[in-house]
Amino acid sequence: MLNKTLLPQSVAREIQAMIQSGRLKAGEKIPSQREFSQKFGISRASLREALLTLETLGLLKTEAGRGTFVAAGDGAGQTGNMAPWRYSESYSVFDVFQTRILLEGEIARLSAGRLSQAQLDKMESATKTMEDRWADQDLLANVEADLEFHGIIVSACSNTMLKALYQTVRDQVTETQRQPIPITDPERMRQSISEHRRIIAALKANDGDGARSEMEAHIRNTARCAGLQP
Q: Rounded distance, CA 149 to CA 38, Å?
A: 34
Nearest to 109 by CA among 171, 160, 159: 159
pLDDT confidence of residue 74: 54
> In sequence order, what are the residues at sequence separation of 6 or more whose Cβ sits closer than 8 angstroms to the Cβ of residue 76?
57, 58, 134, 137, 139, 181, 182, 184
- Beta-strand relationship, 67-70 and 60-63: antiparallel
Choice among 23-27, 45-49, 71-75 with the minimum mean pLDDT: 71-75
Instruction: Output the pLDDT for position 186.
Output: 94
Give the per-residue pLDDT at 1. 41
Give the C-alpha separation, 194 to 127, whole Å: 9
- Check whether 75 has a pLDDT greater than 80: no
pTM confidence score = 0.90
Question: What was the pLDDT predicted at 3?
Answer: 46
Given a cut of 80, whether residue 76 has pLDDT beyond it is no
- Does the pLDDT at position 172 exceed 60? yes
C-alpha–C-alpha distance, residues 71 and 29, integer Å: 9
What are the helix and strand counts (H, E) for the chain?
A: 10, 2
Taking only the tens place, the pLDDT of each residue in 119-161 is 999 999 999 999 999 999 999 999 999 999 999 999 999 999 9
Average per-residue pLDDT for the chain: 92
What pLDDT is stored for residue 98 in this prediction? Answer: 98
CB 218 within 8 A of CB 108: no
Q: How far apart are CA 76 and CA 13, in angstroms?
A: 16
Q: Is the pLDDT of residue 82 over 50?
A: yes
Q: What percent of the chain has pLDDT over 90?
A: 81
Top pLDDT among 198 and 84 is at 198
pLDDT band at 2 (very low <50, low <70, confident <90, very high): very low
Q: Rounded CA gap, 146 and 148, in Å? A: 5
Burial classification of residue 81, based on how many CB atoms lie within 10 Å of its CB (0-12 exposed, 13-18 middle, 19 or more buried): exposed
Higher pLDDT, 193 or 80: 193
